[in-house]
Each structure stands twice: as C-alpha cells, then as structure tokens.
Amino acid sequence: MNKRLIECVPNFSEGNNLPIIKQITDQIESVSGIRLLDVDPGKATNRTVVTFVGTPEDVIEAAFLGIRKACEVIDMRHHKGEHPRFGATDVCPFVPVSGVTMEETAEYARILARRVGEELQIPVYCYEFAAFEEKRKNLANIRSGEYEGLPEKLKDPEWEPDFGPSEFVSRTGSIAIGARNFLVAYNVNLNTTSIRRANSIAFDIREAGRILRQGDQVTGPVIKDENGEPVRVPGSLKKVKAIGWYIEEYGMAQISINLTDISITPIHVAFEEVCNKAIERGIRVTGSELVGLVPLDAMLQAGRYFLKKQQRSTGIPEKEIINIAVKSLGLDDLKPFIPKEKIIEYILADQDNHPLINMDLASFADETASESPTPGGGSISAYMGAMGAALGTMVANLSSHKRGWDNRWEEFSDWADKGMYYVKELNRMVDEDTHSFNLVMDAFALPKNNDEEKKIRKEAIQAATRYATEVPFRVMQLALESMDVLESMAKIGNPNSVSDAGVGALAARSAVLGAFLNVKINARDLNDRVFAEDILVQAKEIETLAIDKEIRILEIVKAKI
C-alpha cells in the first residue's frame, strides 16, 4: 500500500434536504480517483458529514467542487441547527492516510484554502496543523460567535481571514479548512450493565479526567482553584475523549472513546488501558468495536503489539497480523469484523488494478502460457524473487518458534520483517512490470499525423521505455538485497529448514538474471545512451554479486545437509 492518500471530511450545513446533499456529493464524486466512503446527515444538527479519500491532488479538486456547490445550494441566512457552525461548508479537514506526512497534508489544505478564498470569495480560516498562528489551531476559537457573530468578528483585525475577503458574506458565511490526525471512534465492551461504573473507567482514562471533589467523588463538593475553576484529575491517556454508556441492543455497558490522535494513543494502547482499569474495578472487557473506518497502519500496529507480547515473530503476512489484531482486541465480539469493509486502504484497493497478484497459482500460470504478451519474463522474474524472499522469511519464522531458541525470537522476528518487506515489494513489481510494458504499448499507439504529434509520440515512447528499463532493474536490486536474509538464515536459522534457504537463493539469483535480460532488451531502444550504458553497468555488477552470493549460500547449505 504505497499510494499517497488523504482523507477529507467536510461538514456541510444541511442535514435534512437529501436532494441538496446529493448535489454536493455528486460534485465530489465527479472527480476521477475519488472514493466516497460515507455520507452521514443529521436532522437535529442540520449538518451532513461527508467522508471521501483520494490522492492529494484529487482531494483538493473534489473538496473545492463540493464547497462551490454548497455555496450555490445552501443559504446560511435560513440555517438553524444544534451543532456549532459558521458557514455553508462549516469545516473541511484533511487527514493523512498513507504515503503523506502531516506537514504535506497541511500544505495541501492551505492550497485548497487559498483557492476557495480567491475563486469563491469566501472568508477562510486555516486550523489545527494548517493554522498560521497558535490561537487559530483550535477550531472552537475560530468558530466562536458562530454565523451570527461573523459580521462583528470580521471587523476585528485579529480575526482577519487567512484567505478571501474580510467581509461578511451572508449567504455562505465562512469556512475553516485544516489538517488533523485521523480520529478513530472506538467502543470497548464491558461485562456490566452499570453506566456509573463504565463512566468511572472512562474518567480514569480520558485526558480530561474527572473533577476533583472533597470526600465522596460522586456527590462531594467540587474543589476549585484560585480562579474559581474546578480542579481536574487528568486521566491516563493523552488525546482521548471517553464516556460510559449502556447499549440496550447489546445488553451491556461500553466505554465510548474518541481517539483524536492515534499517533499519540493508538487503538491497542487504549484497549489495554481500559482492560487494566476495568480489572481494578472488578469488571472484565469482553471485546470492542470500531465505529466507521480505520487506517491500515493502526491495525498493523495493534497486531504487531500483541504478537510481541506473545514473543512471536512479526514478519508474517499482513492478513495474519490483522487477524491477530482482530482477535486480540475482540473486534468480532458483537459482529464479524470484515477488513475489506473497515480498513480504508482495503476499501480503496477495490479500485486498484492488480490482476496478476490477485490470481491463484493455476490462473497465473495459465495467463502466462496464453497468447497475451503479459505477464512476461519481467513479471515472472519478480515473482521468482518474491518466492525466494518468502522462503527466507519462512525459515526466519520457523527459527523464531523453534523449541529451545526462545531467547532468540526477537532476532529472527527482525529477519522475518526484512524478508516480508522484500516479499511485498517484489510482489508489487509483478504487476508493475506488466504496467510498464502497457505504457510502452500505449505510447506506440499515440497518433503520428503531423510533426507535433510525432514529437509527442517519440517522447512518450522514450519515457515509457526508460521506465520499462528501470522496473526490472529495481527487481534486480530487491532480489539481490533479499539474499542477505537467505544467507543469514542458511548460517543461523533452523537447520532443519536450511534446504529452503538454498532453494530461496536459487530463486533469488534467477530473479536477478531474468530481470537483467529485461533491462538489456529495453535499454537497447533508449536514445539516452549515457543512461542506458550506466544502468547496464550497474545491472552487470548486481548480476555478479548475486551469482557469488548464491554460491556462498549453497556451500553453507550443502555443508549442513
């Protein structure tokens, strides 16, 4: 999962008129590459929360179109609702999902903010990580006074918008555009029906803690500071909001938690802390549930955490790590947890095109044997490399669990993690090689009716051919690097599996040599001979190193068997 993804969660000030909401979401979905994940209208709040995901550029465009349409169909002069608001599009946060840093996400939010301010002439405030000054980080500060207070607020030089006019726009109001961490709504199930006891646990863990009282913590007088404010005893977890409640549908109490920054308090940390606090109060956690969606990395972190607690290797396939997370957190306690419906990256993967790595072995072989030119030698080389790395990873995992080697599990887990990296990357290159071939074919198919078209076509062919040379070269690099794992496992791994390390070495070396053939055949068609000769020299060095390393590994293997 290396795609650069941002989640956008705009809140529109309309929660009752479904046709109006549909007009807005239609604009968002009109951007190719955008995946609309959720539309949640609230009648009492008269507000709709929309969630969609895409690449940064697509998200900026989709958000802009949604905001523009909201300006056309929502009139704030007639808006009433229970939720604080000050604009037709009240807030529009960007959330990094994968392959994008928070700093980059904040900059993308500012790009959108500038565009909205300049093109739509709406007063725009940037908040949280996108804020330009400290007091504007807090959304509550920006939105204080709400829509009705905007005319006076906009006259205050301290509240001049970051972008757009410093004038009250009665129809649209203002908008807050920002960048924030992923918020996870997470409930932990208890074997009690007591709301009071559930609340006690919630107060134990939430950052705000509980109000300090004299004597009886429930009914005693509130203790206040010198300013007359209630004194609070902070809870044990940062960036956590929590409350206890009773769910009649389930016949149990829950701790309802908002994890506002899972980089500070991840899901598994919150779960473990609730478990500990519950035990102190004679209560047991029976499981938990995720409300809405969760990033893949959050689930992988949880799975690895519990594997390490069990002193087990973390270098196992992704789906197995997720299964450990689901079972350890009890996410299937109330209903089945289906990863492809709950994990953002898996939902988006339905749109991705990975026909080869999704095939079963027989179908892959049949497709290779067919009249189609793909998959060809490049994809097969990548797959041989993946299988070689997989064998090395297997030996590491078997070594991690070998009886009598308990004190070495972490060492072998580290090797297994390295091996899984090469497995995943080389698997990805199976389809990438086919993709690079298709790019070359697409370039050759471009029109050539005049000199300009011929020039464009020639440049496209060269660019695609260069990429088709770089892909198998990357396969060579990865396959060679994976041989470090195989050599180590042949030396120190479970001796009963040393032959597997040997077969892995054979596969890795074959991947290098096979990919080299593809580098050569594509490099010959490059006009940039400096680049072509340089990559061929580097590829030859990799080939030599791979052959030498294969010989060393096989000598170790033969000596042990």
Active-site annotation holder among 83, 332, 333, 401: 83
Q: Please state, in angstroms and rounded to a whole number, the distance separating the CA atoms of residues 253 and 270.
A: 17
The pLDDT assigned to 429 comes to 96
Range of the domain at 528: 361-560
Closest CA relative to residue 356, chosen from 428, 408, 424: 428
Predicted local distance difference test score (pLDDT) of residue 215 = 67
* 334 domain residue, yes or no: yes
Closest among 354, 351, 386 to 507, alpha carbons compared: 386
For 401, which DSSP code? T
Task: Using the 3D structure, point to which of 311, 326, 349 is the last residue of a domain.
Answer: 349
Which pLDDT does position 218 carry in this prediction? 60
Strands 89-98 and 175-179: parallel
- Asked whether residue 173 falls in the same domain as residue 188, the answer is no
Catalytic annotation present for 83:
yes
Q: Tell me: do 329 and 379 sit in the same domain.
A: no
End residue of a domain, out of 144, 160, 179? 179
Q: 356 lies in a domain?
A: no
Residue 267 maps to a domain: yes
Task: Indicate the angle between helix axes 529-560 and 451-492, nearest 10 degrees.
Answer: 20
User: Where is the domain boundary, 155, 179, 203?
Assistant: 179
Residue type, 176: A
- CA gyration radius for the chain? 29
Pair (34, 83) in one structural domain: yes
Kindly state whether residues 162 and 188 are assigned to the same domain.
no
Distances, alpha carbon 390 to alpha carbons 475, 490, 507, 512, in Å: 15, 14, 10, 16
173 contacts 76 by C-beta, under 8 angstroms: yes
- Structural domain count, the chain: 3
pLDDT at position 353: 57
Contact 426, 514 (CB under 8 A): no
In a domain, 244, yes or no: yes
Q: In terms of Cα–Cα distance, which of 99, 57, 87 is closest to 177?
A: 87
CA distance 238 to 311: 27
202's CB contacts (< 8 A; 6+ apart) are 242, 243, 244, 255, 256, 257
For residues 424-459, one letter each, b for 16 or more C-beta atoms within 10 angstroms of the residue's C-beta and e for the rest, the string is bbbbbbbbbbbbbbebbeebeeeeeeeeeeeeebee
C-alpha distance across the termini of the chain, in Å: 39
Q: Which of 431, 433, 435, 500 is catalytic?
A: 433
Helices 409-444 and 377-400, packing angle to 10 deg: 170
117 shares a domain with 262: no
Question: So what's the pLDDT on residue 526?
Answer: 95
- Reported as half-sphere exposure (CB side, CA atoms, 13 A), residue 150 has a value of 28
Q: Could you tell me if residue 355 is inside a domain?
A: no
**Are 190 and 286 in contact, with CB atoms under 8 Å apart?**
yes
Paired residues of 38 in beta bridges:
51
pLDDT tens per residue across span 341-381: 888 888 777 555 567 888 889 999 999 999 888 899 999 99
Cis check: omega of the bond before 375, within 30 degrees of 0: yes
pLDDT digits (tens, 9 = 90+) for 212-249: 877 656 667 778 877 778 888 899 999 998 989 888 88
Name residues of the chain where pLDDT drops below 70.
Answer: 1-2, 215-219, 350-354
Are 431 and 496 contained in the same domain?
A: yes
Residues 203 and 243: their CA atoms lie apart, in Å, by 7
> Does residue 433 have an active-site annotation?
yes
289 in the same domain as 398: no
CB 122 within 8 A of CB 87: yes
Q: What is the pLDDT of residue 1?
A: 44
Residue carrying the six token digits 């396939």:
317
**Does 193 share its domain with 145?**
no
Query: CA of 362: how far to CAs of 38, 319, 355, 368, 462, in Å?
Result: 38, 22, 14, 10, 35
pLDDT at 350: 57
- Give the CATH number for residue 123: 3.30.990.10
**Pair (322, 290) in one structural domain:** yes
In a domain, 61, yes or no: yes
